[in-house]
Amino acid sequence: MKIGFIGLGIMGKPMSKNLLKAGYELVVMDRNLDTVGEIVALGATAADTPKAVAEQSDVIITMLPNSPQVKDVALGENGLIEGARPGTIFIDMSSIAPLASREISEALAAKQIAMLDAPVSGGEPKAIDGTMSVMVGGEKAVFDKCYEIMKSMAGSVVHTGDIGAGNVTKLANQVIVALNIAAMSEALVLATKAGVDPNLVFQAIRGGLAGSTVLEAKAPMVMDRNFKPGFRIDLHIKDLANALDTSHGVGAQLPLTSLVMEMMQALKADGHGQSDHSAIARYYENLAKVEVTR
């Protein structure tokens, strides 16, 4: 089976490497030709358009920034829809709006191309070690056919419903992650301002009910002043915007999400959009006039 992979960024590059390690033939495309060359050196072949990727692939995976990019790659000029054969499967592993997933799926279905929306969670470290969580929407039979492909990049792959359900699940995930980072930041800034070592607070609470994957991953980054992006604030803003848009469409209220969105927008305005989302701590630090360090 030959797999096409489009989008070799922070997440896509290690994901494509894991597919190669699993023994899959890979055709890759990205605007960053240096990254393409890196993956080609590991055994992949390169293509210069989505159409060309599709012409050579049985399954096509995309890992792109947002809905417009996925729509363009799938349905635009020289897009996947122009090169894919009937029976080809498209797995979009980007985090996009659920409605966009449904629109793309409907257009592809007219050409007998099946689609799964399969966004991921875990950030760059889990993309590298192949332990990401994948939440998948689409027909169960198509999911079953592609399960082993996705599992080669992930620790958990769960079918969550029809097309679009994967991205609804991812939006729920991103809401929880954002609010967890904000809560962690409030707590560590409180400890610092009160004169208590935040690292000792972290050590004391990590094994209790306040412990979480977010706390384990992000508290050390804040205390070490390491805001190198595993997942950028700009991208989390995109996800929260999709969550809020979706919430308005279905009539669900997300007041805490709205507050954290404003914090992220303030950080972006201050030039931190490319920082890891753990930099939410900077928002609280600026208010309290302290810095959380070990």
Quick one: pLDDT at residue 122? 87
CA-CA-CA-CA torsion for 224, 18, 167, 226, nearest 10 degrees?
Answer: 10
Quick one: pLDDT at residue 230? 84
Q: For 159-179, write each residue's pLDDT tens digit.
A: 999 999 999 999 999 999 999
Quick one: pLDDT at residue 123? 85
Quick one: pLDDT at residue 241? 96
Quick one: pLDDT at residue 163? 98
- Bind-site residues for NAD(+): 4-18, 95, 238
Query: Is-contact 57 29, C-beta < 8 A?
Result: no
Query: Which helix (H) or strand (E) element contains residue 180?
Result: helix 165-193
Supply the residues annotated as catalytic.
Answer: 170
> How many H helices and E strands in the chain?
14, 9
Strands (DSSP E) along the chain, which ranges?
2-6, 25-29, 45-46, 59-62, 89-92, 114-117, 120-121, 132-137, 154-161
- Bind-site residues: 4-18, 95, 238
The CATH code for residues 168-288 is: 1.10.1040.10
Quick one: pLDDT at residue 149? 98
Domain boundaries, the chain: 2-162, 168-288
Buried b (16+ CB within 10 A) or exposed e, 116-146: bbbbbbbbbebbbebebbbbbbbeeebbeeb
Pick the CATH number of 2-162 from 3.50.50.60, 3.40.50.720, 2.60.40.10, 3.40.50.2000: 3.40.50.720
Q: For 96-112, write each residue's pLDDT tens digit.
A: 999 999 999 999 999 99
Residues of the chain with pLDDT under 50: none
